[in-house]
Amino acid sequence: MTQTLTDNSLARAAPNAGHIDGLRAALNKALRGKADVVERVLACLLARGHLLLEDLPGLGKTTLAKAVAVAVGGRFSRVQCTPDLLPGDITGYSVFNQKTREFEFLPGPVFSDVLLADEINRTTPRTQSALLEAMAERQVTVDNVRHTLTPTFFVIATQNPVEHHGTYPLPEAQLDRFAMKLSVGYPERDDELGLLAAAVGHVADMPGHEAMLAEGQLAALQERIARIAVAQNVQAYLVDLGRATRAHPKVTLGLSPRGMLIWQRVAQAWAFLKDRPFVTPDDVQEIAGPVLGARLGIAPGAAGSVIDQLMESVAVPV
Domains in the chain and their CATH numbers? 7-226 (3.40.50.300), 228-318 (1.10.8.80)
pLDDT at 28 over 60: yes
> What integer pLDDT is reported at residue 9 of this predicted model?
45
Instruction: Express each pLDDT in 258-286 by its tens digit.
Output: 999 999 999 999 999 999 999 999 999 99
Write down the pTM of the prediction. Answer: 0.87
How would residue 2 be classed by pLDDT, with cut points 50, 70 and 90? Answer: very low
Q: Which residues pair with 229 in a beta bridge?
A: 278
pLDDT at 166 over 70: no
Q: Are 126 and 166 in contact (CB under 8 A)?
A: no
Using DSSP's 3-state secondary structure scheme, residue 90 falls into helix
- Residue 154's H or E segment, with its range, is strand 154-159
Instruction: Express each pLDDT in 111-146 by its tens digit.
Output: 999 999 998 888 888 888 888 889 989 999 888 889
> What integer pLDDT is reported at residue 203 of this predicted model?
62
Does residue 165 or residue 226 have the better pLDDT?
226
With a CB cutoff of 8 Å and minimum separation 6, the contacts of 176 are: 256, 258, 259, 294, 295
Among 136, 154, 152, which residue's Cα sits nearest to residue 222?
A: 152
Q: Are 114 and 73 in contact (CB under 8 A)?
A: no
> What integer pLDDT is reported at residue 24 of this predicted model?
93
For residues 25 and 29, give the distance between their C-alpha atoms in angstroms, rounded to a whole number: 6
Q: Are 251 and 297 in contact (CB under 8 A)?
A: yes
* HEC per residue, 9-68: HHHHHCCCHHHHHHHHHHHHHHCCCCHHHHHHHHHHHHCCCCEEEECCCCCCHHHHHHHH
With a CB cutoff of 8 Å and minimum separation 6, the contacts of 71 are: 22, 23, 26, 27, 209, 211, 212, 213
How would residue 100 be classed by pLDDT, with cut points 50, 70 and 90? Answer: confident
Across 13-42, average pLDDT = 87
pLDDT at 315 over 60: yes
For residues 3 and 215, give the distance between their C-alpha atoms in angstroms, rounded to a whole number: 10
> What integer pLDDT is reported at residue 185 of this predicted model?
86
> What integer pLDDT is reported at residue 205 of this predicted model?
58
Across 86-97, average pLDDT = 90
For residues 265 and 284, give the distance between their C-alpha atoms in angstroms, rounded to a whole number: 10
